[in-house]
Chain A
């Protein structure tokens, strides 16, 4: 550093860079972290669990370490009928989303209600448990730890459930399979209201990771796809081969997510299926081959659950 100017230059450089980082990281970070969770953010955290991208507990992104979302129409403890309720079951050992383990994620009011009314402080990961999303009289959403407040155990809830959704595991696959390179999860404020539905609000993301907004849209936005397209049959065919239901689609086939066996345990022969399909596509046969129904623990099932859950 032969010249004094270089020393001054280095200092100015450090100053400029740190000021820039102060303004573009620290200040926005403060502002964003001060946002209170909406009800949607609570539901999303409880559906998607701790982390959907690469993590220590699910390094190969197989959809492990995820809660199960269930619908109840009767009280799992007493068996008494009740209004349709969504419950989020964390089997023992499943990792909790940040909102349950860190005090600064939910926002002050939501955190207070969840602690005092919802008793989330009593939950721990090793034992797991069942959670609900509720709203107080003054419209503050909060998380209720139903295992403490109502004595609902994970086993009882899973047994009483009408419908089990693996949407949390599905989000992991959504990331692994790169759906977000074509689909966005972010209707734009300016013009997407009509076609793709309500754009998200600031508080809709607390505790979610990764958010996968997507930056290139080559396909419809999916944030509310479950509201406009809720047919499991259509989705099954569409994922197996989008050209079955939409001849002009450029979406890739996801038939390999079906695994080796279909729902009734019959082996799936993708090569044979492809041959028949190509014959159909060329007009040599009138009907396309039948699409197998995905097995209950197949990746296809998880992904379809995830899509249907995007209301």
Chain B
């Protein structure tokens, strides 16, 4: 990588940026889930090691969250965009050199940002925990160059129209920058009080809704037609998905603060808009599942499709859960409990991670022009993540319902802690399975680069038979 930093643009092989982002994302996935599993162990057994005070739960929790969101999810997005955007525009990436610098500074910046969070330097605002100088770095050094590459590639395309995936990518990068800068206004300008609290959640909600959800969906809009060979079921439904995301998903931020004393109209408005998010959700899921018509056997035989479709299927309970849990009738019961933690992991570890993992699997094979080293290891990875995630989700949902019941029956809090203990252990075991599966994935990918069978030019990796 380093040798390309000062190379001429022509000398850098096409796809290098995507490759570096892809490999980094897998490494961050391992780090992030490792940290998650570590935190889970702390919540199950607070005293299982002594003396290492730097590894305090209160410091490590946000490091986990930011390692998985900025490290894994965002970098997997960057990797996907860097190879999908040019492929769909029938062109090459606008600037590989910018991309490589971007990838380097992204990794360096992220390490630095996480180290600061770890040391306790935080703004004290969930999801925008980074201090404002780091926010500026993220916006202008990490995200703007990335977006530039995407936008310019779309503009320089050699096709007439722009495919769904690409307008999703271009628009989402734009919205991400806006959300990042506007959402951090409380820090830049020291806003206080409820304004600060509300803007914190405006940021958190929109980064989930305008970056993570639509980009993960856009990736599947590429992967499924590309690998199955079926055209996208409906471009129009894609339009419905896009516009309803922009209109409905950008508005219900206040549903995260249903129990705070915000103006009542705002909470009611958020609650209604939140149910309307079901419009893009249903449009999207139907569109992808109908694209699969006639190719359902690939759900079993093809690893990328297996990951993608599992992710899409997980989006169904995710959005159903979301739509209901934010109505006042239900929110009071499950707010702030493990239920929400389960929902958050259903969203990020379920739906979005599965979609991104497929894109990284596929992307690395295409970029390396090598067939995946081992199908069995890939299947093993899939099942480790799926079973691990399911254990996590089920145990935290149950723990959440216990907490909810305890809220109304007003039991002494420590009894809740005792009742949750077994579920905390299950969560830890489940999470550790995910971590372990990811280590296997990295091994499989390294071996693919070294020993995967070569994919002939003009062929899909999926068309080449497995040797292992």
Which residues of A come within 8 Å of B, CB atoms?
1-3, 6, 9, 13, 16-17, 20-21, 23-25, 28-29, 31-33, 35, 41, 50-54, 59-61, 97-98, 105, 175-182, 184, 186, 188-192, 194-195, 199-202, 204-220, 242-243, 246, 248-253, 256, 270-271, 274, 278
Report yes or no: B250 in contact with A17, Cβ–Cβ below 8 A: yes
| Most chain B Cβ neighbours within 10 Å, of A25, A31, A53, A248 | A53
Of A28, A248, A256, the contact of B418 (CB 8 Å cutoff): A248
The listed residue with most B CB atoms (<10 A of its CB), out of A188, A256, A278, is: A188
Q: What is the 8 Å Cβ interface bit string for chain B, positions 169-210, against chain A (1 contact, 0 not)?
A: 001000100100010001100111111111110100000000
- Closest 7 A-B residue pairs measured CB to CB? A178-B58, A53-B124, A175-B124, A188-B259, A190-B332, A210-B124, A54-B131
B192→A251 contact, CB < 8 A: no
**Contact (Cβ within 8 A) A184 B261:** no
Contact (Cβ within 8 A) B123 A250: no
A271 and B194 in contact (CB under 8 A), knowing A20-B250, A24-B202? no
Q: Is the CB of B46 within 8 A of A251?
A: yes
Closest residue on chain A to residue B259 by CB atoms: A188
A252 near B251 with CB under 8 A, answer no
B246 near A13: Cβ-Cβ < 8 Å = yes
B361 on the A face (CB < 8 A): no
CB distance from A136 to the nearest CB of B (A): 22
Instruction: State the CA gap A171–B57 with chains docked (Å).
Output: 18
- Separation of A184 and B341 alpha carbons in the complex (Å): 15
With known contacts A54-B131, A210-B196, A213-B260, A20–B56 Cβ distance under 8 A: no
| Dominant secondary structure at the A interface | loop
Point out the residue from A6, A25, A209, A250 that lies within 8 Å of B417, measured CB to CB. A250
Contact B194 A35 (CB under 8 A): yes
Given contacts A20-B250, A54-B131, A217-B336, contact A32 B178 (CB under 8 A): no
* Given contact pairs A188-B332, A248-B418, A215 touches B126 in the complex (Cβ within 8 A): yes
What is the bound-complex CA distance between A253 and B52, given in angstroms? 11
User: In the complex, which residues of chain A have a beta carbon less than 8 angstroms from the beta carbon of B247?
Assistant: 16, 20
Q: Complex Cα distance A210/B194, Å?
A: 9
16 A-B pairs within 8 Å (CB atoms) are namely A1-B155, A2-B160, A17-B178, A28-B262, A54-B123, A60-B121, A178-B62, A205-B192, A210-B125, A210-B186, A211-B193, A213-B197, A216-B340, A218-B417, A248-B421, A252-B42
Q: Are B254 and A28 in touch, CB under 8 angstroms?
A: yes
The residue of chain B having its C-beta at the shortest distance from the C-beta of A241 within the complex is B47
Residues of A within 8 A of B403 (CB): 217
A192, B205: Cα distance in complex, Å = 25
Interface string of B400-423 (1 = CB under 8 A from A): 000100011010011001100100
A9 contacts which chain B residues (CB < 8 A)? 167
B381 on the A face (CB < 8 A): no
Taking the nearest CB of chain B, how far is it from the CB of A218, in angstroms? 7
Q: A17-B178, A199-B261 are in contact. List 17 more A-B contacts (CB 8 A).
A: A3-B160, A24-B250, A28-B266, A53-B123, A54-B132, A60-B120, A105-B192, A192-B407, A202-B262, A207-B192, A210-B196, A210-B197, A213-B257, A216-B336, A217-B336, A252-B56, A274-B51
Contact A211–B261 (Cβ < 8 Å) = no
When distances are taken between beta carbons in the complex, the residues of chain B under 8 Å from A21 are 182, 250
List chain A residues, Cβ under 8 A from B410. Answer: 191, 194-195
Q: How far is the CA of A233 from the CA of B261 in the complex (A)?
A: 34
Task: Check if B50 is an interface residue, CB within 8 A of chain A.
Answer: yes
- Among A105, A206, A211, A249, max chain B CB count under 10 A is at A211
Give the complex CA separation of A98 and B57 in angstroms. 32
Q: Is the CB of A190 within 8 A of B194?
A: no
Please tell me the number of chain B residues within 8 Å of chain A, measured between CB atoms. Answer: 81
Tell me, yes or no, whether B335 is within 8 Å of chain A by CB: yes
**Cβ-defined contact, B51 with A270, below 8 A:** yes
Q: Is the CB of A252 within 8 A of B58?
A: yes
B155's nearest neighbour on chain A, judged by CB, is A1
Residues of A within 8 A of B407 (CB): 188, 191-192
Cβ-defined contact, A31 with B46, below 8 A = no
Measured CA separation A179–B59 after assembly (Å): 9
When C-beta atoms are compared, the residue in chain B nearest to A98 turns out to be: B192
Assess whether A28 is in contact with B51, with CB atoms less than 8 Å apart: no
**B370-402 contact mask (Cβ, 8 Å, vs A): 1 or 0:** 000000000000000000000000000000000
Q: Is the CB of A25 within 8 A of B182?
A: yes
CB distance from B168 to the nearest CB of A (A): 12
Residue B460 CB within 8 A of the other chain:
no
CB nearest to B195 among chain A residues:
A32
CB within 8 A of B259: which of A59, A97, A190?
A190
Q: Which residue of B lies closest to A24 (CB)?
A: B251
A51–B269 CA distance with the chains assembled, in angstroms:
31
Alpha-carbon gap, A31 to B414, bound state (A): 39
How long is the Cα–Cα vector from A61 to B424 in the complex, in angstroms? 31
Please determine whether B182 and A209 come into contact, CB atoms closer than 8 angstroms: no
Closest Cβ–Cβ distance, residue B397 to chain A (whole Å): 14
Given contacts A20-B247, A32-B263, A195-B410, contact A177 B121 (CB under 8 A): no
Task: Check if B123 sits within 8 Å of A16, measured CB to CB.
Answer: no
Please indicate the chain A residues that have their CB under 8 angstroms from the CB of B268 in the complex. Answer: none
A250–B197 touching, CB < 8 Å:
no
- Taking a contact as CB atoms under 8 Å apart, the answer to whether B257 and A177 are in contact is no
* B161 engages A186 (CB within 8 Å): no
Q: Is B92 on the interface with A (CB-CB < 8 A)?
A: no
What residues of A have a CB within 8 angstroms of the CB of B429 in the complex?
none
Q: Assess whether A205 is in contact with B197, with CB atoms less than 8 Å apart.
A: yes
Residue of A nearest to B175 (CB): A17
* B439 CB to nearest chain A CB (Å): 27
CB distance from A201 to the nearest CB of B (A): 6
Contact residues in B for A6 (Cβ distance below 8 Å): 162
Cross-chain contact of B193 among A17, A180, A208, A217 (Cβ < 8 A): A208
* Contacts A209-B193, A218-B43 given; does A200 touch B261 at CB 8 Å: yes
Point out the residues of chain A lying under 8 angstroms from B131, CB to CB. Answer: 53-54
With the chains together, A216 CA to B413 CA distance in Å? Answer: 14
Which one, B42, B59, B160, B266, contacts A177 given CB within 8 A? Answer: B59
Cα of A33 to Cα of B186 in the assembled complex, Å? 13
Whether the pair B202, A25 counts as a contact (CB closer than 8 A) is yes
B372 to chain A, nearest CB (A): 37
